[in-house]
A and B are shown apart, each in its own frame.
Chain A
Amino acid sequence: MRHLITATVNGRERELSVKSSQTLLDVLRDDLRLKGTHEGCSVGVCGSCTVLVDGKPVSSCLMLASNAEGRDVLTIESLARDGNLDPVQQAFLDRQAFQCGFCTPGMIMAVKGLLNENPKPDEAEVRDYLSGNICRCGTYVEVMAAIEDLTAKPQ
């Protein structure tokens, strides 16, 4: 069965025909060719597939695509504008907050979600919020440093 839905993806309104059993992740990667969102564990644990829906982080691997109807979806591809990196991307780059980079898009989108909800989180809040984004290379110290750079800056 297919469903016709309208959703805003990275600022652009899209009419999409999605299959009943497709997840948002499937549609992003396979139909819209947005390959920045990664599939890691496929069961909502690792955070590699994190995207923002209405500004909030979700595991796109467990969200039925049909439920994106009328929602505003942002992926890692939405961040850089005209060749300029988003401040979160820049902070990750400055701090080398990645090694293999597989978890990085999800990690960055989770940080975007965190800062949407709480622009000045303390360290405990950051750790709590990001506890579900796993980095197998163990770059957590650099990720924390990147976020500290972001939140220490005067707004």
Chain B
Amino acid sequence: MRNFDLLEPKTVTEACRMLDDGEDVRPVSGGTALLILVKQGLLRPRTLVNLKKLEGANAITRDEAGAVRIEAMATIHQVETSPVVREHLPVLAAACHQVANIRIRHLATIGGNLAHGDHQSDPPGVLVALDAEVELSGTRGTRAMKLADFLLGTYETALEPGEMVTAVTVPPVRGRLVSDYLKFTTGSSEERPCAGITALVRLEGDRPVEARLAVGAVAARPLLLCETDPTEGALPRMAERASEEIDPIPDLRGSAEYKRHLVRVLGRRALAAAWKEACP
């Protein structure tokens, strides 16, 4: 692999200072995305800042109000197997389980996944559906923003120089969430998603009060549609709307037209599955 220097901070403050040093300094955590770009010569960093050795940066916790906080260096495998995530955000566990393969999930981190800004991935769409926020730490302090606002496009995020993702949080859910994640690949099962569809139905008591449909991996950013007081009859129309509003990126996984079709069909299926479980 092309040479670079690896700096190894122990604290976030130290890491941010190291990162605030120009264009050819990049953070690296699991390395499963970034090192491929370096190997292929698409990225030629002079210096990488290794975030993997930051202390205590991979905890997954739930506070009294019910917000789930995942520290950025938690691996995808830690997210998928976390008892907190499995109990309270099963759709996130299910989507993380479908990322790449077991070896990558043991290396790749959730913070790295989001900061990388690759649209062809499972977690971003699901987390947008769950209304997640990212916590960003930098040389000028810490701020939080909606993940939906953080993801600007393919390999583009709201990160400023000298800033890193330190956590992702999912706010408390009012009532109960029933959810379904459908991943569709056009290659082998562990391929990147051609489409990743999240459907959520939120119940208060037995009454469905909100339906959400998030489309990941199809366009440069996840698309989120919400409907309050949904009825079963309105769900196909929601999938239809998603397929009209999405701006698919055509690639070797399918043409724009094909992906639009997928969004309509899979959106309908995912919503129907969530609805069936929510209102049996």
Contact = CB atoms under 8 A, between A and B. Distances in A.
A78 to B, nearest CB: 17
Interface stretch (B17-25, B45-53, B256-264): B45-53
Interface stretch (A8-16, A40-48, A97-105, A141-149): A40-48
B3 A20 contact: yes
Given A43-B36, A43-B39, A64 B50 contact: yes
A129 to B, nearest CB: 6
A21 interface: yes
A110 to B, nearest CB: 7
Nearest to B81: A117
Interface size range of chain B in the complex = 20 to 34
B32 interface: yes
B96 to A, nearest CB: 13
Interface residues of A, number: 31
B53 A1 contact: no
A58 B52 CA distance: 15
B6 interface: yes
A62 B1 CA distance: 11
Contact of A1 (B6, B102, B189): B6
B103 A58 contact: yes
B227 interface: no
Contacts of B39: 42-43
Contact of B6 (A20, A47, A57, A63): A20
B188 to A, nearest CB: 7
Given A20-B48, A44-B32, A67-B50, A62 B6 contact: no
A47 B102 CA distance: 10
A87 interface: no
Contacts of B226: none
B2 interface: yes
Residue with the greatest number of chain A CB neighbours at <10 A, chosen from B30, B50, B102, B103? B103
Contacts of B35: 23, 62, 64
A86 interface: no
A133 B189 CA distance: 12
B86 interface: no
Given A20-B4, A57-B102, A110-B102, A62 B107 contact: yes
A59 B190 CA distance: 14
B101 interface: yes
Most buried by A among B50, B53, B106: B106
B107 A63 contact: yes
A24 to B, nearest CB: 10
Contacts of A62: 30-32, 35-36, 104, 107
B146 to A, nearest CB: 30
A43 B3 CA distance: 17
B240 interface: no
Contacts of A132: 100-104, 190
Interface string A65-98: 0110100000000000000000000000000000
A47 B4 contact: no
A3 B50 CA distance: 12
Given A23-B1, A132-B101, 8 more contacts: A20-B5, A20-B48, A21-B1, A42-B39, A44-B103, A58-B107, A62-B36, A132-B190
15 contacts: A1-B5, A20-B4, A44-B101, A56-B77, A56-B106, A57-B102, A62-B32, A62-B104, A63-B31, A66-B8, A67-B53, A113-B102, A131-B101, A131-B189, A131-B190
Interface of A: 1, 3, 19-23, 26, 42-45, 47, 50, 53, 56-59, 62-64, 66-67, 69, 110, 113, 129, 131-133
3 closest residue pairs by CB, A with B: A132-B101, A20-B6, A1-B5
